[in-house]
Chains A and B, each alone.
Chain A
Amino acid sequence: MLYRESGQFSTSYPADRRIFRLYQERWAFYLLLAAAFLLIPWLGNDYWFSAILIPFLVLSLAALGLNLLTGYAGQLSLGSAAFMAVGAFAAYNSHLRIEGLPFLLSLLLGGVVAGLTGVVFGLPSLRIKGFYILVSTLAAQFFVLWVFTTFAWFSNDSSSGVITAPPLVILGHDFSSPQGRYLFTLTVVVALGFLAKSIVGSELGRNWMAVRDMDKAAEVIGIALPKAKLLAFAISSFYLGIAGSLWAFCYLGTVEPHGFDLSRSFQILFIIIIGGMGSILGNFLGAAFIVLLPILLSHIASGLLADTIDAGQLENCQKIIFGGLIIFFLIKEPDGLAKIYQTCKQRLQVWPLRF
């Protein structure tokens, strides 16, 4: 009833291809954006901004980057965290070494450098595919971290290898408060999200999916495979690089290589598997699941059972429940949370009928 499609006709091709074709979806999205930009900054506290919302947004963006490569172009990767690290260090170094460079530009530069690095490590994809390309990206993961820990130049010869991020000043405004960092991260994520939606709906996105679904046929109908693959690596790594910078500047406040180790790559991979490959929405759902659910569980546990069960045991129980939920969702819907959302939507469209 609420989700009625009847009477909503697209009368032009652009209207047919718009992101939210139904007015219900459009309004829901506008409300969500309004809440995220106006309501939450007003309601939320520092803990919510710094410990929950910012990492959620940044990991969504990182997952979005990996999803472009893996979910859309079909190239597996375990080097996500490495490209994040490249982005963070490149942004930090450009900020440090180029006098008077605005923060936004150094952020962009970080993304571009990460994108170029992605192209280099994507070169093997021209000859190998599947699990073998996974190994090549794994090499990126180890090589990049080795470079950043070995050569002190990257961390400005700081003795600990850990460097403090510069204050967040954009166009003369200071965004260093938790609220400001949240708003800045949100703006970047929303803008890049729209850009990604536009890319996957364009010819490049179709070429990626063609390469993913059947590369031989893609070649026969004239798609240039090397260009499609390398652009996938470049754009994906650009997104990851921006996410890495945000992770360092907006979340941690420090730039250190070990924040970007292999387990971070796995975390991002899990987000897109649980959220849904080949879906933009799925990244946000998956990140919510991976980032927010453990926090929710621990709040529930400490609120309800803190007195009855030993703290260590409680923590283990949370992990068991979390793991169980992952397995449950993957069995119920192997295509991820985005697919569950789609199914719900289809059900709602015919509700109260069943078919």
Chain B
Amino acid sequence: MTARNPLLTLEHISLSFKGVKAITDMSFSVAEGEICALIGPNGAGKSSLLNVINGVYQPDDGIITYDGEIRTAMRPHHAAERGIARTFQNIALFKGMSVLDNVLTGRNLKVQSSWLEQAFNVGRAPKEALVQRQKAEEIIEFLRIQPWRGSLVGGLPYGLQKRVELARALAAEPKLLLLDEPMAGMNRDEKAEMSRFIVDTQREFGTTIVLIEHDIGVVMALSQHLVVLDYGKKIGDGPPEAVRNNPEVIAAYLGTRH
């Protein structure tokens, strides 16, 4: 679709759980700096696909090329090190920690000083603590969650928790950001706000974003690239306008007019 280099390419990915096929022979690629939306009915394998990309699930078959590195299997830790961050469908924040601590945890891979240096506050630790805090505050400001930075995450309203989760993912300065239903359960205003944050993220940091979303209006407005899944198979791939007119997609997902 565009001349940009693909950041992520999936080739013939298959995944099954004890014989139940979740994903079958899936191939597509995500260009650097684009927003790519995965859509499809429930159980189409969208979340499984994200889990394959960041190493939570190991595919049975197929090759993933990410940022020039070809791999078939990978641990989540390695994915994080290579700059893949994500949010979860059901909020996976650390509920007993403050907003600030959650965001700081997102930066754990950027920390250089050892735990002993930090415990005794010597060596690289004091200076680094300042830098980390500064970076975390930048993200907090970017997502406008300053008033809640000291609050425990568990007590915040749902929409804010979603935003804090995005903040934690962004704190890692990711190259590829995977968002699993970032707007599920939100009202229109909250959706508009979240969409703005996602677009801003792409513009400000140049982050490549793969997101799963059900609100087709939001998806059409946000994304430059659409991949449609049904029963673990890819049934549509391309720019939003082209996908919208694809008869197979209309039948499976958008619904036909009877």
User: Taking beta carbons and an 8 Å cutoff, which residues of A are in contact with B?
Assistant: 13-14, 17, 195, 198-199, 202-204, 206-207, 209-210, 212-214, 216-224, 231, 278
Tell me the bound Cα distance from A217 to B106 in angstroms. Answer: 10
What residues make up the interface of B, taking CB atoms closer than 8 Å to A? 54, 56, 76-77, 79-81, 85-86, 88, 92-97, 101, 104-106, 108-109, 111, 115, 118-121, 125-126, 129-130, 133-134, 168-169, 172
Q: How far is the CA of A145 from the CA of B108 in the complex (A)?
A: 39
Partner of B115 from the list A204, A209, A210, A222 (CB cut-off 8 Å) is A204
Q: Beyond A14-B126, A203-B118, A220-B56, list 4 extra A-B contacts (CB 8 Å).
A: A203-B115, A216-B56, A220-B80, A224-B77
Residue of A nearest to B81 (CB): A222
Distance (whole angstroms) from the CB of B51 to the closest CB of chain A:
9
Q: Which residues of A contact B97 (CB under 8 A)?
A: 206, 209-210, 213
Report the nearest B residue to A72, measured CB to CB: B96
Asked if B76 and A209 sit within 8 Å, CB to CB, the answer is: no
Q: Which of A17, A209, A210 has the most CB of B within 10 A?
A: A210
- The answer to whether B172 touches A222, judged by C-beta atoms less than 8 angstroms apart, is yes
| B56 nearest in chain A by CB position | A220
A selection of 28 A-B contacts at a CB cut-off of 8 Å is: A14-B126, A198-B118, A199-B118, A202-B119, A203-B108, A203-B115, A204-B115, A204-B118, A206-B97, A206-B104, A206-B108, A207-B105, A207-B108, A209-B96, A213-B93, A213-B96, A214-B93, A214-B94, A214-B95, A217-B92, A218-B94, A220-B80, A220-B92, A221-B108, A221-B168, A221-B169, A223-B105, A224-B77
Residues of B within 8 Å of A198, CB to CB, are 118-121
Contact of B105 among A199, A210, A224 (CB under 8 A): A210
Closest B residue, CB atoms, query A227: B115
Contact yes or no, A222 B92, CB < 8 A = no
4 tightest A-B CB contacts, nearest first: A222-B80, A217-B92, A202-B118, A213-B94
Chain A residue, CB-CB nearest to B136: A13
Q: Which residues of A contact B77 (CB under 8 A)?
A: 219, 222-224
Q: Are B96 and A212 in contact (CB under 8 A)?
A: yes
Which chain A residues lie closer than 8 Å to B111 at the CB level? 203
Bound Cα distance from A216 to B180, whole angstroms: 15
Report chain A residues within 8 Å CB of B101.
Answer: 206, 209
In the assembled complex, how far is the CB of residue B199 from the closest CB belonging to chain A, in whole angstroms?
23
Q: Return chain A residues, CB-CB under 8 Å to B106.
A: 221
Cβ A220 vs Cβ B118 within 8 A: no
Find chain A residues with CB under 8 A from B118 CB.
Answer: 198-199, 202-204
Given A13-B130, A199-B119, A231-B115, CB of A219 within 8 Å of CB of B105:
no
Interface of A is mostly: helix
Q: Which residues of A contact B169 (CB under 8 A)?
A: 221
Are A213 and B115 interface neighbours, CB within 8 A?
Answer: no
Give Cα A14–Cα B129 distance, bound, in whole angstroms. Answer: 9
When the two chains form their complex, are residues B133 and A214 in contact, meaning their CB atoms are under 8 A apart? no
Task: For residue B215, give the distance in angstroms from its CB to the closest CB of chain A.
Answer: 24
For residue B121, which residue of chain A has the nearest CB?
Answer: A198
Complex interface: chain A residues within 8 A of B130 (CB): 13-14
Least distance between A272 CB and chain B CB atoms (Å) = 15
Bound CA span A140–B80, Å: 35
A55 to B166, CA, bound (A): 47
Most chain A CB atoms below 10 A, which of B86, B92, B108: B108
A204 pairs with B76, CB closer than 8 A = no
Q: How far is the CA of A187 from the CA of B31 in the complex (A)?
A: 60
CB distance from A75 to the nearest CB of B (A): 15
Compute how far the CA of A224 lies from the CA of B104 in the bound complex, rounded to whole angstroms: 15
Q: Of the candidates A202, A207, A217, A221, which one forms a contact with B172 in the assembled complex, judged by CB atoms under 8 Å apart?
A: A221
Q: Does A221 contact B85, Cβ atoms closer than 8 Å?
A: yes
Cβ contact of B54, chosen from A195, A212, A218, A220, cutoff 8 A = A220
Write the nearest CB–CB distance from A7 to chain B, whole angstroms: 18
Query: In whole Å, how far is A111's beta carbon from the nearest beta carbon of chain B?
Result: 14
Q: Which residues on the A side are within 8 Å of B134 (C-beta)?
A: 13
Residue of B nearest to A12 (CB): B130
Query: Which residues of chain A are within 8 angstroms of B94 by Cβ–Cβ distance?
Result: 209-210, 212-214, 217-218
Residues of chain B within 8 A (CB-CB) of A222 are 76-77, 80-81, 108-109, 172
Q: Given the complex of chains A and B, what is the CA–CA distance between A281 and B133 in angstroms?
A: 25
Q: What's the Cα separation between A209 and B133 when bound, in Å? A: 18
Given contacts A222-B81, A222-B108, are A278 and B133 in contact (CB under 8 A)? no
Q: Give the residues in chain B near A207, CB-CB below 8 Å.
A: 105, 108
Question: What residues of A have a CB within 8 angstroms of the CB of B125 in the complex?
Answer: 202
Interfacial chain A residues near B95, Cβ < 8 Å: 213-214
Chain B residues with Cβ below 8 Å from A221 are: 80, 85, 105-106, 108-109, 168-169, 172
For B113, the closest partner residue in chain A by CB is A203
A214, chain B: closest CB distance, angstroms: 5
CB distance from A335 to the nearest CB of B (A): 10
Which residues of chain B have C-beta atoms less than 8 A from A217's C-beta? 88, 92-94
Please measure, in the bound complex, the distance between the C-alpha atom of A224 and the C-alpha atom of B172, giving whole angstroms: 15
Please give me the residue from chain A that is nearest to B126 by CB atom: A14
Q: How far is the CA of A210 from the CA of B104 in the complex (A)?
A: 11
